[in-house]
């Protein structure tokens, strides 16, 4: 019987896995669980103090920790030529799918074709591998560490990027992306063959960001492909779709990633999963798994602290939290976005929560949206009489928010 356990190479400046303190592994695991929560990361024990200091330095150390964690995960990558389910790629894919893409242990086990027990075991080894790579990165990275004024503009853009999903026809987006790269394909000698259902393929996503991902992914593939046919296939499923690219890569692109860093991060922000496999007979298969965006929660409160709190509580959920700081803005966003739930404060200037609740209930397009009144004024009877679904007295806890959204079927 062969041993399919993966070996993590020793890295200069890092401890061997057997010598890694459990407390350090738990710290890294905690940071990975909050990798998209910048407010949490900037106060994390693993966040290193910025030498420049000054205003905004806390945010910078949070971004730096996120960069370090992402780079440490990539250090486990055995390379593009290794099949997705190969034992050598298992630790990398477990950590990436679970922490970067938010998949459960059970889902990652199914994707990799292993038992849940094996997935738990290997994920722990993968977490230790991240610790090892993180230590090595920081041991060799100190002289090049960027100061505040040299922070990557890409990371700044990604940190503040918000998505605005709405019902979108993926087939139409793909046709638009194909038209954008058609001339480049002709110049490269690549013939694009698009296969899609005759009916629209609808998902909830941000069409502007989605088009950018598709155009750039297609452009990247065309520039990697040998002259000849490239097959672009759209396969619909319930509330999701798969986009598959098949082509023969040029020899110099054999070990190159199918999409560049910017496209990969944009796809992550949309909640899409990008996979690449180079098959033994030379064909490259790139798959984009397009999923509908998770539920939207609109928080209407003139106190930005509550918005940050709700965002932090929902960071490990596929939820989009949108903020409105006054009643008029909240009413406008409620009508435009039709969120899955609204968290509404009572004490606000100009239009208070009671008036806004009545307006929401009196308008057909917003009448059915569940509203959670969240206030220091404890008057649940009035809230329910005006049409509130639930009442939460301030201050609120994570359990309060999770239980409320659970009861409403939002999460």
Reported as a single tens digit per residue, the pLDDT across 237-274 is: 766 789 999 999 988 877 677 777 677 777 877 778 78
71-85, 113-127, 136-150, 270-284: lowest mean pLDDT where? Answer: 136-150
SS3 content of the chain, % helix, strand, coil (to 5): 50, 15, 35
**% of the chain with per-residue pLDDT over 90:** 31
- List helix spans (H) across 34-76: 38-41, 57-74
| Chain segment 171-181, per-residue pLDDT in tens | 999 999 999 99
Residue 188 is given by DSSP the state H
**What residues contact residue 261 under an 8 Å CB cut-off, 6+ apart?**
154
The model's pTM is 0.45
pLDDT band for position 408 (50/70/90)? confident
Q: Band of the pLDDT at 207, cuts 50, 70, 90?
A: confident
The DSSP code for 225 is: B
Query: Do the strands 371-375 and 390-393 form a parallel or antiparallel pair, or are they unpaired?
Result: parallel
Instruction: List the one residue out of 104, 132, 102, 99 whose CA is nearest residue 119.
Output: 104
More confident residue, 318 or 324: 324
How confident is the model at residue 55, as a pLDDT? 38
Per-residue model confidence (pLDDT) at position 52: 39
Two structure tokens written together for 347:
């004490």
Residues 372 and 375: their CA atoms lie apart, in Å, by: 10
Cβ-based neighbours of 344, under 8 Å, separated by 6 or more: 300, 301, 330, 353, 356, 357, 371, 372, 373, 374, 388
- Tell whether the model's pLDDT for residue 212 goes beyond 60: yes
Q: Give the integer Cα–Cα distance in Å for 400 and 394.
A: 10
Helix (H, G, I), strand (E, B) or coil at 52: coil
> What is the maximum span of the chain, computed from C-alpha positions, in angstroms?
73
pLDDT score, position 62: 73
* H/E segment holding residue 35: none
Tell me the pairing of strands 320-324 and 166-169.
unpaired
> What tens digit of pLDDT does each residue of 264-319 get?
777 877 778 788 887 878 899 988 888 766 678 999 998 878 888 888 887 656 67
In this predicted structure, the answer to whether residue 401 has a pLDDT above a threshold of 80 is yes
Contact call for residues 310 and 321 (beta carbons, < 8 A): yes
CB-CB contact of 174 with 224 (8 Å) = no
Per residue in 58-89, pLDDT (tens digit) is: 556 777 788 788 888 988 988 767 888 888 88
So what's the pLDDT on residue 5?
A: 43
Q: Which two tokens stand for residue 278?
A: 């180079």
Displacement of CA 103 from its chain's centroid (Å) = 11
Characterise 275 by phi-psi region: left (phi > 0), alpha (psi -120 to 50), beta (else).
beta
Identify the residue whose tokens are 């672009």: 232
Q: How far apart are the C-alpha atoms of 42 and 32, rounded to whole Å?
A: 13
Domains and CATH numbers, the chain: 17-159 (no CATH), 167-291 (3.30.565.10), 296-407 (3.40.50.2300)
Q: Which helix (H) or strand (E) holds 48?
A: none
Query: What angle (nearest 5°) sits at the alpha carbon of residue 203, between those of residues 269 and 364?
Result: 105
Q: How confident is the model at residue 163 (pLDDT cuts 50, 70, 90)?
A: low
Measured in degrees and rounded to the nearest 5, phi and psi for residue 312 equal: -65, -40
């Amino acid at each position: 019987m062969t041993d399919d356990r993966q070996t993590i190479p020793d890295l200069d400046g890092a401890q061997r896995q057997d010598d890694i303190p459990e407390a350090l592994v738990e710290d890294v695991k905690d940071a990975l669980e909050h990798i998209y929560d910048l407010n949490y990361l900037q106060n994390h024990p693993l966040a290193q103090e910025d030498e420049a200091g000054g205003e905004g330095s806390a945010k910078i150390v949070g971004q730096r920790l996120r960069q370090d964690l992402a780079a440490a995960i990539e250090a486990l990558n055995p390379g593009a030529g290794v099949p997705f389910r190969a034992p050598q790629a298992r630790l990398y894919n477990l950590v990436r799918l679970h922490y970067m893409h938010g998949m459960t242990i059970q889902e990652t086990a199914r994707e990799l074709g292993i038992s849940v027990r094996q997935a738990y075991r290997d994920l722990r080894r993968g977490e230790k591998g991240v610790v090892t790579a993180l230590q090595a990165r920081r041991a060799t990275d100190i002289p090049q560490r960027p100061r505040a004024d040299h922070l990557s503009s890409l990371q700044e853009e990604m940190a503040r990027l918000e998505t605005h999903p709405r019902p979108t026809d993926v087939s139409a987006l793909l046709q638009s992306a194909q038209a954008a790269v058609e001339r480049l394909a002709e110049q490269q000698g690549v013939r694009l063959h698009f296969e899609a259902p005759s009916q629209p393929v609808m998902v909830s996503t941000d069409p502007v960001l989605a088009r950018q991902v598709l155009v750039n992914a297609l452009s990247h593939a065309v520039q990697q492909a040998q002259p000849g046919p490239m097959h672009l296939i759209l396969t619909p499923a319930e509330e999701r779709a798969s986009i598959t690219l098949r082509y023969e890569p040029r020899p110099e692109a054999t070990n190159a990633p199918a999409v560049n860093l910017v496209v990969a991060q944009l796809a992550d922000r949309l909640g899409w999963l990008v996979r690449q496999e180079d098959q033994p007979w030379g064909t490259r298969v790139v798959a984009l798994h397009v999923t509908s965006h998770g539920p939207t929660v609109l928080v209407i409160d003139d106190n930005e602290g509550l918005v940050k709190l709700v965002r932090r509580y929902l960071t490990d959920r596929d939820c989009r939290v949108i903020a409105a700081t006054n009643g008029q803005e909240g009413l406008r966003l409620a009508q435009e976005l039709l969120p899955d739930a609204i968290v509404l404060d009572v004490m606000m200037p100009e239009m208070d929560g009671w008036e806004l609740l009545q307006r929401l209930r009196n308008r057909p397009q917003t009448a059915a949206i569940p509203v959670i009144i969240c206030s220091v004024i404890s008057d649940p009877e009035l809230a329910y009489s005006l049409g509130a679904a639930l009442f939460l007295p301030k201050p609120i806890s994570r359990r309060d928010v999770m239980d409320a959204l659970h009861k409403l079927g939002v999460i």
